[in-house]
Structure 1
Amino acid sequence: MLQAQKLYFPKTAVNDSLVLEKQIALLATKLMSQPTLLKLKKDKRLTYLDHLLRLQMVAKDYKKSIATLADYRNEYAANNMAGNKFILYEFYSMAKVIEEKENISFSNALQKAFNKKYESLSDQLATKVGIAVDGDVIDARKTLHKTLDKQKDKDSIDYASALALCRSYLNYKTFSSTKPQIIQLAASKDAEKFITETKDLKTKNGNTLTITIVRKKENTSPLPVILTNNIYAGSFDPLFGKRAAVYNYVGAVVNTRGKRNSNDENNPFEHESQDIYEVIDWVSRQPWSNGKVGMIGGSYLGFSQWAAVKKLHPALKTIVPQVAVGIGIDYPAQNNIFMNYMLQWIQYVTNNKLTDEADFNNSSKWDSINTAWYKSGKSFRALDTISGKPSKIFQRWLDHPGYDTYWQKMVPYKEDFARINIPILTTTGYYDDDQIGAMYYFKQHHQYNKNANHYLVIGPYDHGGAQSYGFTYVNGNPIDPAARISIDDLAFSWFDYILKNGKKPALLKDRVNFQVMNTNTWKHVSSLEKMHTSTVKFYLQDHKNHSSVFNKPAAKNFIRQTVDFKNRDQKDLYHAVSKIDSLKTTTSLYFESEVLDKDLIISGNMSGFFNVSINKKDFDTEAYLYQIKPDGKSFLLSSHLVRASYAKNNEVRQLLEPGKTEQIPINNSIIISKKIEKGSKLVLLVGVNKNSSWQINYGTGKDVSDETIRDSGEPLEIKWYNDSYVEIPIYQE
């Protein structure tokens, strides 16, 4: 009922900018006293402060908005990396206060506000100001007009719409009036501090690579070079360079073939090993280099470092791969199941010489493409045609469903890892989309090189956080203060340790350093296996019909599941886990444990195996392990997705025999470390992957990319045997 409450907002404001400015300020003032907003003050304080500071700005109460922003930052992150959060709003509010107080133009006031704020920032934060204010003015204007259009011929507005209107108005107002000047001011400050050069390098085989070099003007002696190999050519190139320079290194950022000034063919992942070797050779011989090179970067940039050590250059002394893509391992296929996202990403990095942000961020476009493909029942190979832009890269990747030589040649493979003897620091997170890839390299390096000088830091970070800093909230959940570290500070402390004979970072007390969520502590062990001290087996049974899901069933039995791949209009099904939460079980079976009578720490990978019998030759299985907290809310702990025919060997497909009981091992699941409170329950969902975000495996045994809905035949029948189990790792002091 509170959401339905209407507030006065005249229809004349839609087309008259002067009326809009006056009326929206009044509207923002009214919103600040609404019960719906005030309720958030207690229940969701961060959201409340976010709304409040914007409304105060729209209401032109700039002094209060500055104070609210300070409160927001204190709540948001207990570390110095919160300094740039909403900094554009701060510049605007500060300028408005100065404009009124000193009776000067807004432009002069903005320059004073910028100078004052800039001087208070650390070097690390100051270098990121340009990126922090780089909003899309045109997009902000479009969003505002769309929001206003909804109010045509109306003299009232509901709470949610009013809040959305105020937010879109503020975004356009601040971006349009401050961005150009702030970008120019930030560039001037950078020019005072740094020497930035961009040049083209010619490789031995005639390819062109564009490289950006950034140095601090005050550093006149040769220094170690921190190199980043970047396919995402654009405004981040100088930023990556400055990131190294502010820590007193030379920053070098090279773009891959086909990017920026290169007219070569752009084939992501394929040439990095060869090209980076030549780049390292070049930078190590420049007058500003002391001959030592380190590498850093996340995601594709993390993959690039593993490509670089495939053929190790003597000048490369260390790498810091962050959230590294495991090419052929977790991308473009995770455990041999291709993802629709791969096509969106391919176009993102190949549509032009920089990155195609507009296309990549057009979520409605890509959702509609994926839905159209799913509804059509066409083969996965048809996805690029459905998108309207056929892709040779997409088709080439689909030609390699197993982890074959195409993928193996891009990064170290098996015995290649034994020859990697430089020190390495890997960072990833429990919520990282590329955790499986990052962990693959770590595990393979230690498997083939028993003396590997390779450290791991893993905590409650997502894909962005594990290559920047530990946010206070991840996926809407607060993380422990101990986890709120600057990954940049950690990485460059590591570089100081290796390249400048500095001290080892204090966090690196052993090879594996992991943050135990909900305990505010870090643990340090010598191997991944020691992340846990014991295990418990969660069998495919429900506590309501058995003494415990953790006890092996007395008699062997099975639960039958039927999945009809022809049904593309199936409504989602949900299972209520409490009075306040539920889990989607459309293509999953639900198993619930008894209530836990004591705290326990789940730490590491879930493993185990499924005993199944199916009426087809293959299927894609998925598993999700949840905690149902004492308050009734669900929390995803780990997940596992795999093509059954590749579960035993990701290089060679081994089809299942219909009607025969087969064992599917659980490998490469998501790692987590978290204290589970007494009074919680564990829930296990097991089932079949069938949705519009992934390939659909119809089970014929043909190349899955070529199967269509016509191959689906009779529904998939699965017998899940109750002696199957997920083995859960437990840590005890």
Structure 2
Amino acid sequence: MKFKILVALVFVNLMQAQKFYFPKTAATDSVILDKQIPELALKVITEYQSPKNKPKYTLTFLDNLFRLQLAAKDYKNSIVSITDYRKEYADHNMAGNKHLAHEIYSMAKLVEKDEKIPFPDALQRAFTTRYESLPETLTAKVGPTLDIDSDVKDHKKTLKASLDKQKDKDSIDYASALALCKNYVNYKTYSSIKPQIMQLFKVKEQEKFIIETQILTLKKGTKLTITIVRKKENTSPLPVILTNNIYAGEFVDAGMGKRAAVYNYVGAVVNTRGKRDSNDPNNPFEDEAQDLYEVIDWVSKQPWSNGKVGMIGGSYLGFSQWAAAKKLHPALKTIVPQVSVGIGIDYPSQNNVFKGYMLQWIHYVTNNKLTDEASFNNDTKWDSINTAWYKSGRSFRALDSLSGKPNKIFQRWLDHPGYDKYWQNMVPYKKDFAKINIPVLTTTGYYDADQIGALYYYKEHRKYNKNPNHYLVIGPYDHAAAQSYGYNYVYVYGYGNLLIDPVARISIDKLAFSWFDYILKDGKKPELLKDKVNFQIMNSNTWKHVPTLDKMHTSSLKFYLQDRKNDSSVFEKPGTEQFTKQTVDFKDRNPKYLYHRVSKQDSIYVTNSVYFESEILDKDIIVSGNLSGVFNVSINKKDFDPKTSLYQVQPDGKIFLLSTHLTRASYAKNNSKRHLLKPGKKEQIPIKNSFFMSKKIEKGSKLVLLVGVNKNKNWQVNYGTGKNVSDETVKDAGEPLEIKWYNDSYVEIPVYKD
């Protein structure tokens, strides 16, 4: 034991001793800083590549490495590392614009040195060379790629913060040196190339595209900004691909339009009310169903349009397509809603539980006529706001006041805790879906935060329309990948970056425009769409194709909430009624963070949860679909927010999150009408709208089920009084919540077998 402690102390001392010379004058003198950074970067690179410091994930390693090489003025190798990053990031060439600004800067520095010409001339040559080497489909992304994260003031501020830490110090530790080199490179790159590179880009853009931005005035006087993008070579009328964009910006809107134009369509991007040149009130989600009918009518009648309109876009832009379909215009021939927000379904509340993130997002899209990137990306600010609210015990309604800016939209949303007419009026509702007879292609992912919303529209369309021409593609994608180009990796909570199966590494962008060719130009149906539901089974390298969502599984396992005493199986219904008791004190705002060790390799966070573990599986199974089932519970209050997580403990002992579910018990049976629980009475809470997953689970694995209560700073806290949860405070907490989880409760796990 003493030996282990001694070794640990030696290791800590070595880490603390890992410092580099860095004169304090470099923190205040830019000339000295420019001289010292390359020398520092070379030392950091040596340490960075050593086994003790090398990051676990290849993408992280390469991302840091190319920046260190840039700092060291090793421009040739920085370009190699950027190229390697792209190959690792995505199999297909759609990743070709990642880190484009840093690559062009490195190319320009090489040209400047080799040909001994001024940097502006070298930059022009480097940009032209790189731009003209890009696949045409990628040129649509160049503007946003070069402009995003490139605010020179922000990079200067970040660099200054790193240098301020070095004042009056003549040495710098390894972690600080790595951060300083990266911050220096980001500032140096963007301050050196902007605004020249954006001017060069505009010249290239104008050579190939006609981009027109104008004000569109609707019948009642509403004014919207619309951007039209066409290839100069396309002189005949074409189908129009329309996007409704709340994330307004010159390069963003033009990029979305070019996304369609490079595939030989007319790209039309209309901004929502209050964005860019519109002075109308900006009330997110409320006006699309009304405005888009007139927008579609206008674009369909323009001389560059052949009268056929399709729509595309993800998240809010996916929601917009369903809003447009509520009152279907004859010219709208197809929609491709990607990772669609299910307004009132999964955002701003998930299964009737409001998210703190909603306020951060409202500020993002309403603080100005574009987007407030500085506020939105300030995670430290929003984490401190959420933490302050949580610790204060104030009502959820007070969150906007605590942020320093009361917000009418935030308050209005909280006035509608159920799925009432306010939300129903924004998108098709029930029988409205029966009238949607145009072809639809929905894409989402197992790790898409809006998967519940995307699948809500799919299920409702199938429910109310007898024979919808609606295709679904779902695979191991997150919110970004399922609406853009697709990546090789997906981040899995509790696991890290997961390399997805080769067959799943597809370009969603290419799939979408192949669909448009199929519907709008009488082309060939995309090969992937062999049936209405197309899903990828993770860890099997296969796609499966079935007619309906419920065919994603062929059987199921009922996982009962019981301890495995006497080697009993959690997959068998218990013979006698028992319960597991759980107590949650809502007054306690400083809970201990509890973990359950599942193996030598891993542990699961179990605060506010009860833990159940299965026996070791004696054969491979494929979990495919979403969790269902019933919780039989009794509580001492009128309401609570149950949460559920299903994990795989792999044969190597590492955990893998399979699915989650969160709901408000009082809305679990009917999301439109609240039914409070009776204290002390055993009641049933159905499990609906959990996250879909399809994955092969290896023999030798175990399944772990956590059930518990949602209680954290990122969501509403339900104190169980029966009042509007948004109005409850810690004063309403009363006695701790006591839950009896009866052992005839079960979570039904869907299983697929060929």
Quote the Cα distance in structure 2 between the aligned partners of 1:185 and 1:255: 26
1:318 equivalent to 2:334? Answer yes
Aligned counterparts of 2:15 and 2:129: Cα–Cα separation in 1: 41
Deviations 1:654-682 (A, max 9, x none): 11011000011100000011111222221
Alpha-carbon separation, structure 2, partners of 1:436 and 1:558: 31
Structure 1 residue 94 and structure 2 residue 107: aligned? yes
Q: How far did 1:632 drift? A: 2.1
Task: Quote the residue 2:613 is aligned against.
Answer: 592
Question: In the TM superposition, what is the alpha-carbon distance from 1:179 to its structure 2 partner?
Answer: 3.1
- 1:302-451 to structure 2, matched below 5 A, reads 302-451=318-467
Q: Could you tell me how far apart the structure 2 residues matched to 1:535 and 1:644 are?
A: 24
Secondary structure of 1:359's partner? helix
2:64 aligned with 1:51, yes or no? yes
- 1:553 CA drift (Å): 1.6
Q: 2:211 aligned with 1:191, yes or no?
A: no
Distance in 2 between residues matched to 1:26 and 1:545, nearest whole Å: 65
Residue in structure 1 matching 2:245, options 220, 230, 234:
230
The whole-number CA distance in structure 2 between the counterparts of 1:628 and 1:682 is: 6
C-alpha displacement of 1:42: 8.9
Match of 2:140?
A: 127
- Which of 419-428 and 590-599 deviates more? 590-599
Measured at CA, do residues 619 and 19 of structure 1 come closer, stay the same or move farther in structure 2, by a change above 3 Å? same
2:293 to 235, 252, 277: 277
Does the alignment pair 1:178 with 2:199? Answer: no
Identity rate, percent: 73
CA distance in 1: counterparts of 2:468 and 2:301, whole angstroms: 28
Match of 2:544 among 519, 523, 526: 523
Question: Which of residues 28, 34, 52 in structure 1 aligns to 2:41?
Answer: 28
How far apart, in 2, do the equivalents of 1:332 and 1:493 lie?
32
Distance change (3 Å), C-alpha of 1:589 and 1:247: same
| Long gaps (5+) in structure 1 | none
Shift of 1:182: 1.6
2: CA distance, partners of 1:207 / 1:46: 46
SS of residue paired to 1:664: strand
Distance in 2 (CA, whole Å) between partners of 1:326 and 1:452 is 19
SS of the equivalent of 1:237 reads: helix
* Cα separation, partners in 2 of 1:360 and 1:611, compared to 1, 3 Å: same
CA contact (8 A) 1:40 1:48 kept: no
Are 1:491 and 2:506 counterparts? no
- Secondary structure of the residue that 2:708 maps to in structure 1? strand
SS of the residue 1:385 aligns to: helix
1:166 corresponds to: 181
Deviations 1:632-658 (A, max 9, x none): 222111000000000001011011011
Aligned counterpart in structure 2 of residue 612 of structure 1, from 633, 639, 648: 633
Letter of the structure 2 residue corresponding to residue 688 of structure 1:
V
AA aligned to 1:189 is K
For 1:219, what is the secondary structure of its paired residue?
A: coil
- Indicate the residue corresponding to 2:578 in structure 1: 557
Q: Corresponding residue for 1:143?
A: 158
Match of 2:5 in 1: none
1:349 deviates by 1.3
Q: Equivalent of 1:580, from 591, 598, 601?
A: 601
Q: 1:643 to 1:42 in 2, by over 3 A?
A: closer
Provide the C-alpha distance between the structure 2 equivalents of 1:24 and 1:305, rounded to a whole number of angstroms: 50
Q: Give the counterpart of 1:16 among 8, 24, 29.
A: 29
What do residues 36-95 of structure 1 show as CA deviations (whole Å, max 9, x unaligned)?
644566953332222222222111111122222222222222111121111112111111
Contact 1:622/1:641 (<8 A) preserved: yes
**Contact 1:480–1:517 (8 Å) recurs in 2:** yes
Query: What is the CA RMSD across the aligned residues, in angstroms?
Result: 1.4
Match of 1:84, SS? coil
Preserved CA contact (<8 Å) 1:96 1:106:
yes
The counterpart of 1:257, out of the listed 265, 270, 273, is 273
| Equivalent residues of 1:130, 1:182 under 8 A apart | no
Q: Equivalents in 2 of 1:706, 1:51: separation in Å?
A: 46
- Report if aligned partners of 1:7, 1:156 keep a CA contact under 8 Å in 2: yes
- The separation in 2 between residues aligned to 1:170 and 1:37, in whole angstroms, is 22
2:620–2:699 CA contact under 8 A, matched in 1:
yes
Question: Residue 605 and residue 71 in structure 1: after superposition, are their counterparts in 2 closer, same or farther (change >3 A)?
Answer: same
State the Cα distance separating 1:430 from its structure 2 match. 0.6
Q: TM-score, normalised by structure 2?
A: 0.95
Does the aligned pair in 1 maintain the 2:647–2:655 contact within 8 Å? yes
Q: What do the CA deviations read for 1:553-572 (whole angstroms, capped 9, x no partner)?
A: 22210010000111112222
* More moved, 478-487 vs 542-551: 542-551
Please say if 1:656 is aligned against 2:677.
yes
- Secondary structure at the aligned position of 1:489 is classed as helix
User: Displacement, 1:544?
Assistant: 5.7
Show the counterpart of 1:200.
215
Deviations 1:325-381 (A, max 9, x none): 101100111101111111111121111111111111121221111111111111111
C-alpha distance in 2 between matches for 1:573 and 1:232:
40
Q: Deviations over 1:79-132 (max 9, x none)?
A: 111211111121111111111111111111111111111111011112212211
Per-residue deviation, 1:608: 0.6
Matched, 1:666 2:687: yes
Q: Distance in 1 between matches of 2:564 and 2:116?
A: 72
In the other structure, the counterpart of 2:235 is 220
Please identify, of 423-432 and 135-144, the stretch whose mean Cα deviation from structure 2 is larger: 135-144
> What corresponds to 2:4 in structure 1?
none
Aligned equivalents of 1:455, 1:43: Cα separation in 2: 38
CA distance in 2 between counterparts of 1:466 and 1:649 reads 30
Cα distance in 2 for partners of 1:280, 1:593 equals 54
Q: Which residue identity does 2:483 align to in structure 1? A: Q
Shift of 1:543: 3.5
Output the amino acid matched with 2:620. Answer: D
Alpha-carbon distance in structure 1 between the residues aligned to 2:735 and 2:404: 32
Rounded to whole Å, the distance in 1 between the matches of 2:384 and 2:65 is 35
**Change in 2 beyond 3 A, CA 1:33/1:459:** same
SS at match of 1:32: helix
Deviation at 1:491, TM superposition (A): 0.6
Cα distance in structure 1, aligned partners of 2:414 and 2:524: 46
Ranges in structure 2 where 5+ consecutive residues have no aligned partner: 1-10, 492-496
Please say which of residues 19-28 and 439-448 is displaced more in the overlay.
Answer: 19-28
SS of the residue 1:176 aligns to? helix
Quick check: 1:156 aligned with 2:171?
yes
The one-letter code matched in structure 2 to 1:598 is K
Whole-Å separation in 2 of the counterparts to 1:699 and 1:732: 42
Deviation of residue 599 (structure 1)?
1.7
Q: Which residue of 2 aligns with 1:642?
A: 663
Q: 1:16, CA displacement in angstroms?
A: 2.0
Distance in 1 (CA, whole Å) between partners of 2:63 and 2:631 is: 46
Partner residue in 1 for 2:118: 105
CA distance in 2: counterparts of 1:244 and 1:371, whole angstroms? 43
| Corresponding letter in the other structure for 2:381 | K
Instruction: Classify the secondary structure of the residue corresponding to 1:513.
Output: strand
**1:133 counterpart SS class:** helix
Deviations 1:277-312 (CA, angstroms, capped at 9, x unpaired): 000011111000000000001111100100101010
Structure 1 residue 552 displacement after superposition: 1.6
Q: CA deviation at 1:34?
A: 1.7
TM-score by length of structure 1 reads 0.98
The secondary structure found in structure 1 opposite 2:194 is helix
The one-letter code matched in structure 1 to 2:223 is T
Q: Number of residues paired by the alignment? A: 733
Question: CA contact under 8 A between 1:37 and 1:48: conserved in structure 2?
Answer: no
Contact kept in structure 2, 1:646 and 1:653, CA below 8 Å: yes
Q: Secondary structure, in 3 states, of the residue corresponding to 2:663?
A: strand
Q: Distance in 1 between matches of 2:697 and 2:715?
A: 31
Could you say which residue in structure 2 is the equivalent of 1:211?
Answer: 226
Distance 1:634 1:574 in 2: 13
Q: How far off its partner does 1:453 sit?
A: 0.1
1:707-726 equivalences under 5 Å are: 707-726=728-747
* Structure-1 separation of matches of 2:487 and 2:298: 37
